[in-house]
Structure 1
Amino acid sequence: MKVGLGLPISDPPSLLTWARRADAGPFTTMGLLDRIVYDNPEPLITLAAIAAATTRIRVQTEVLLAPLREPVLLAKQCATLDRISGGRLTLGIGVGARPEDYLAVGADYATRGRRVDEMMPVLRRIWSGQPHDDQVGPIGPAPTRVNGPELLFGGFVPAALKRVARWGDGYLSAVPVERTDPLFRMVEKEWGAAGRAGRARLVGQVNVALGPDSVVEDAKQTIGSYYASLAGTYDVHMVTTADQIRTTITGFADLGADEVMLYCWAHDPDQVDRLADLLA
């Protein structure tokens, strides 16, 4: 079972410390969330800095709100990050649930799912090196993989799960492990129905905080603020003890997950070492 870390958003200058410690530890991936109307660092820029400060660990958007971005520029940005990181980018894509992010950039919230479906052939065409259209030639740089970086989709509705089979390499579940099984099984069903070879990569995510009471309180305040606008519509779940984290990792493994992302909300970088010791 691979285990990655989701990076905190409350103290951007500390993220390079997090990155170097994680790169020296047992972790496989570092992830970063995406918002517009919030006090968080922009993920593609931040992950580029993290890639430069590390040598082996993967970097992942968890998840990038793709409908907020122009697809040609996004394709170029992701290919660039993939190349300069030596093929370490995993692009997680989602649509988000907050209308204010769409209002901020003048995008249509109601058609955000359709927007992703329209963007995907553009991204794939550019990453494969084909001309953009009849008037515009190929757009580089070429990503490390011919068809682009590894691509995960997040989401809970049937349309999101179908996108995994049509366009993706795998699925990221951001709900508690107790509610993940039907989502994983539906992804596998859609994958088979689409005639895809092999199997979809399955990734679980759990919010964690490990440390003294001050760390746990910092995490609870930060995650509470982040999800405040979704109160009553999103189940904010966090595990805060070593036993709970181990049990959650085992639970995802039993469901067939390939990786579990431990998303950290408190800014204390000593959590990296505590979590590494837990895994050991």
Structure 2
Amino acid sequence: MGDHPTPQLGITFLPWWPPERLLSVATAADRAGLGEFWLWEDCFKQAGASTAGAVLARTDRVRVGVGLFPAPLRNPALLAMEIAGLDRMFPGRFLGAVGHGVQDWMRQVGAKAASPVTLLREYLTAVRSLLDGDTVTVDGRYVHLDAVALDHPPTGRATLFAGAGGPKSLALCAELADGTLVSGFRPPSTTREVRELADRVRSAAGLDPAHEIITSVPVATGPDAAERMERERLAWEAEPADGISVIGTADEIADGLRRFVEAGATSIAVQPTRDEPDPEGLAAFLGAEVAPLLR
């Protein structure tokens, strides 16, 4: 792997799976020694803060992330309260991430913004300031706060990630967040482009160059892995392309994931297929057999 640091390896609990399965998969990931456990706040399947809190309370060491909290769906003061509370109860273990939200879903709940980029800029700026313990007054296009301050801000710097797709939004993530999430069924070249953009943006702004890149990678193992992954690709309407998913043995999966690390990913969030027959077993397999090959 040359000069590339050892990445965090995690697994995602998919919102198509029933909530009562959550803690079983989370504890399997924790026991397996995986570095991260990711959740999605998807309408109208799974909320982020409640599930993250349950996982943090049941596990001992794994970092728990929500990617992504939809900015239009949550008042920034509310999200800052959620992040601050989880960060204080479980220091250094909660990773909150914000995005535009799926626009059709935002329309369904009456929260669709005419300018998602403007909303995300105002939102990330306000949440970061609140988490830093500031008293925030702002009267923006979307964010309106009048002398708001958290009674119990984080005692250290709470992690605030972001994720998006377009270049303007990705530049915003690089400027205002601690890390950027890259969605699944994207080739390693996309991770490289996001890494290079983040480096340019942060250098031009005189910011600390440290910026995490968390890449979601669809993964399947077992005798029917190829068939399951093809069904998953079709469900996501993703165009076929080299490297957008990884299947096979531990060695083959590690080789595939290493391409994303070499492209600049600091964390790999393994995205199982929604018909994965044994999520707990997959977590154990990743921890015992794949993670050592990435070190």
Question: What range describes the TM-score normalised by the shorter chain of this pair?
Answer: 0.7 to 0.9
CA shift, 1:137, in A, is 5.1
TM-score of the superposed pair, with normalisation by structure 2: 0.81
Q: Which amino acid aligns with 2:262?
A: D
The residue aligned with 1:204 is 215
After superposition, the Cα gap between the structure-2 partners of 1:92 and 1:176, relative to the gap in structure 1 and judged at 3 Å, is farther
The residue aligned with 2:31 is 24
Partners of 1:78 and 1:127 in 2: how far apart? 8
Partners of 1:18 and 1:171 in 2: how far apart? 25
Matched, 1:276 2:268: no
After superposition, the Cα gap between the structure-2 partners of 1:162 and 1:90, relative to the gap in structure 1 and judged at 3 Å, is same
Deviations 1:132-163 (A, max 9, x none): 449645223212424xx212222232222222
CA shift, 1:232, in A, is 6.5
Partners of 1:65 and 1:176 in 2: how far apart? 24
CA shift, 1:245, in A, is 1.9
Identity %: 25
CA shift, 1:204, in A, is 2.0
Matched, 1:117 2:124: no
Give matches, 1:1-280, under 5 Å.
1=6, 2-9=8-15, 10-37=17-44, 40-96=45-101, 98-133=102-137, 136=147, 138-146=149-157, 149-174=158-183, 175-213=186-224, 225=235, 227=236, 231=237, 237-242=244-249, 243-265=251-273, 266=276, 268=278, 269-279=280-290, 280=292
Q: Equivalent residue of 2:135, what SS?
A: coil
Q: Equivalent residue of 2:86, what SS?
A: helix
CA shift, 1:263, in A, is 1.5
Partners of 2:91 and 2:240 in 1: how far apart? 36
Partners of 1:159 and 1:16 in 2: how far apart? 37
> Would you say the 8 A contact 1:156–1:183 is kept in 2?
no
Deviations 1:160-205 (A, max 9, x none): 2222332111222222214322221111111111101232222222
CA RMSD in angstroms comes to 2.6
Q: Which amino acid aligns with 1:131?
A: T
After superposition, the Cα gap between the structure-2 partners of 1:137 and 1:187, relative to the gap in structure 1 and judged at 3 Å, is closer
Q: Equivalent residue of 1:161, what SS?
A: helix
After superposition, the Cα gap between the structure-2 partners of 1:44 and 1:267, relative to the gap in structure 1 and judged at 3 Å, is farther
Q: Which amino acid aligns with 2:96?
A: L
TM-score of the superposed pair, with normalisation by structure 1: 0.85
Partners of 1:233 and 1:102 in 2: how far apart? 25
Gaps (5+ residues) in structure 1? Answer: none
Count the aligned residue pairs: 270
CA shift, 1:219, in A, is 6.6
After superposition, the Cα gap between the structure-2 partners of 1:7 and 1:121, relative to the gap in structure 1 and judged at 3 Å, is same
The residue aligned with 2:141 is none
Gaps (5+ residues) in structure 2? Answer: 1-5, 138-144
Partners of 1:113 and 1:69 in 2: how far apart? 16
CA shift, 1:108, in A, is 2.0
Greater shift in the superposed pair: 203-212 or 44-53: 203-212
